[in-house]
Amino acid sequence: MRFWSKAVDEGLHEGVTEISFSAMFRERMRVMPPDIRERRFRNIGDPRRRDRFKSTYELGPQSPFVLYAIAAYERAFEVLEETLTNGGPWVLGNQISLADISLMPYVARLDYLNLLELWTNGRPRVMGWWARACERPSFRRGLYEGITETEFEVGVLEAG
């Protein structure tokens, strides 16, 4: 469990923002008038966060922040496949746990961006885990049925 809490806190949480911005919102910002784009950057209160977004805006997938995010996701999926190979159908065995639930939104975001296959290809146990997660009614209600596409897009852009 320790690996998963650290993976989510230190890699996937920030990483999902960088991957989302690079894959989805960077182009939107590129076509904005420069004054509006700069105002958006100025409105990001945390200077570290602002620097991350500027780097991702300027360098895209070559930004060190995006590369770190990709590495964090790769490591998480590698460990998830290994964990599921040596255990049960869920992260901690035969029952779903907080470890599974904490990963689901980050995997869902990759799915929404049509990038999930990059990490699940060749990892059959991860694909099975994801299929089981998607079958859960509470998961569908909370992450797919309860959020409109507009809320999803705007929320990430504004909160990111």
What mean pLDDT, rounded, does the chain reach? Answer: 86
Over residues 59-101, the pLDDT tens digits come to 999 999 999 999 999 999 999 999 999 988 999 999 999 889 9
Alpha-carbon span 133 to 114, nearest angstrom: 17
Instruction: Please give the tally of structural domains in the chain.
Output: 1
Mean pLDDT within 117-123 = 95
Tally of CB atoms within 10 A around 55: 16
Mean pLDDT within 10-22 = 86
**pLDDT confidence of residue 34:** 94
**pLDDT confidence of residue 28:** 87
Exposure of 3 by Cβ count < 10 A (0-12 exposed, 13-18 middle, 19+ buried)?
middle
What CATH number corresponds to the domain at position 58? 1.20.1050.10
Q: What is the full DSSP assignment across the chain?
A: -HHHHHHIIIIIHHHHHHHHIIIIIHHHHHTS-HHHHHHHHHT---HHHHHHHHHHHHHGGGSHHHHHHHHHHHHHHHHHHHHHHHS-SBTTBSS--HHHHHHHHHHHHHHHTT-HHHHHTT-HHHHHHHHHHHH-HHHIIIIIISS-HHHHHHHHHHH-
Q: Which domain holds residue 25?
A: 2-159
**pLDDT confidence of residue 154:** 55
**pLDDT confidence of residue 119:** 94
Q: Which two tokens stand for residue 155?
A: 């929320």
Instruction: Indicate left, alpha or beta for 54 from its phi (over 0: left) and psi (-120 to 50: alpha).
Output: alpha
Q: How far is CA 60 from CA 16, 21, 65, in A?
A: 14, 9, 9
Over residues 132-158, the pLDDT tens digits come to 999 999 888 877 676 666 665 555 444
